[in-house]
Structure 1
Amino acid sequence: MDPWWALWLIFTLPQILEGQTPTKPQGFPQLSNFESDKFQGEWFVLGLAGNSYNREHRALLNPYITLFELKNNSHFQVTNSMTRGKRCDIWSYTLIPTSKPGQFTVENKGERSETDKEDIQVIETDYIKFSLVLSIRQTSSHTITRVSLLGRNWRIPRKMVDRFICLTRTQNLTKNNFVFPDVTDWLPDPKSC
């Protein structure tokens, strides 16, 4: 191989790989229908994994709650609430449904570049105990992948955590990309947010 060709490959291959779209989850059946009315309500974020997370982020994640409110029987207003000491951080966005069951796009309200596009897909849910959600955000320079494990309670069966780990592996994420909030001494205070 010509040395210039090898040098070009070394410098461009990481950029080429970084821009690849995450793979379709293997071993997870496509949702044939999605019941928005059953999905709405309060979910606890039990685990996150993403290609933009690393071990240092573990200390930054406090337990938090996500509320999915169904609006006009079509889109969701999503509100996240996380306590940090005595203050409460709240952020929200709108999910617009696509033609595929359980798949949404995030409505862009000026906080991101117009070129950024985020798709969110409910990969698996039983509506009463757990949900696995995949988010793929395309920026102008790379793709950000995030997998969320949601539960209706702070405790879920181990097999649901195993499904979460399987889903992260289909997205080429490693154990270094996992972030679990520490809930050992934390009890939600409804008055805090």
Structure 2
Amino acid sequence: MGPWWALWLILTLPQILEGQAPAMPRGFSQMKSFQSDQFQGEWFVLGLADNTYKREHRALLNFFISLFELKNNSQFQVTNSMTRGKRCNTWSYSLIPTTKPGQFTRDNRGSGPGADKENIQVIETDYVNFALVLSLRQTSSQSITRVSLLGRNWRLPHKTIDRFICLTRTQNLTKNNFLFPDLTDWLPDPKVC
């Protein structure tokens, strides 16, 4: 290994390693602590932004709920429930905490060898009203960035929605990448599945 190769490796290795976990977006501060016991429970998914979403995908997103259940080993069991017509779709996965507050990796052990690695970071939350969550996943062909707006109830202040939009912009997502479920047919307190 020549000196140029070594220099290149020294200069690029930190960037390569940094790309493996969510970095704190501009305008947001690193959480000092994360209260898993306060975060657990039911969250309504009120908005999603993803670099793979396009306008034509908007009709595919129905209202859904994510239930975060804290397990003895400090992991979350996440169960999502969404209605599609008269059917109920559910899917689950585990989130394994990392050393950073509010940061997790998604457990893909059941997905087989070569499963995509996904890093998830709770960027901001007040535990009782809203949470902003950033997910970064690397597949064999692309990097997928997703921002989720979670709420404990149906209505969020405009300031919270503005923070969601701000977070999406720091991830180079545009309004074409946004999906908001249509809630017009739901009663004030729907139960999914």
Aligned partner of 2:36 in structure 1 is 36
1:99-110 → structure 2 map (5 Å cutoff): 99-110=99-110
How many residues matched? 173
Deviation at 1:111, TM superposition (A): 2.9
AA aligned to 1:33 is S
Deviation at 1:23, TM superposition (A): 6.0
Aligned partner of 1:57 in structure 2 is 57
Q: Check whether the contact 2:24–2:123 (CA below 8 A) recurs between aligned residues.
A: no
Matches of 2:168 and 2:113, distance apart in 1: 27
1:100-139 → structure 2 map (5 Å cutoff): 100-111=100-111, 114-139=114-139
1:130-149 → structure 2 map (5 Å cutoff): 130-149=130-149
Alignment gaps of 5+ in structure 2: 1-18
Identity in percent: 73
AA aligned to 1:110 is G
Query: SS of the residue aligned with 1:184?
Result: coil
Q: Structure 2 length normalisation: TM-score?
A: 0.85
Q: Check whether the contact 2:63–2:83 (CA below 8 A) recurs between aligned residues.
A: yes
Aligned partner of 2:77 in structure 1 is 77
Aligned partner of 1:152 in structure 2 is 152
Matches of 2:135 and 2:33, distance apart in 1: 19
Alignment gaps of 5+ in structure 1: 1-19
Deviation at 1:80, TM superposition (A): 0.3
Q: Check whether the contact 1:134–1:145 (CA below 8 A) recurs between aligned residues.
A: yes
AA aligned to 2:36 is S
Bigger mean CA deviation after superposition, 136-145 or 123-132: 136-145
Deviation at 1:115, TM superposition (A): 4.9
Q: Structure 1 length normalisation: TM-score?
A: 0.85
Query: SS of the residue aligned with 2:184?
Result: coil
AA aligned to 2:53 is Y
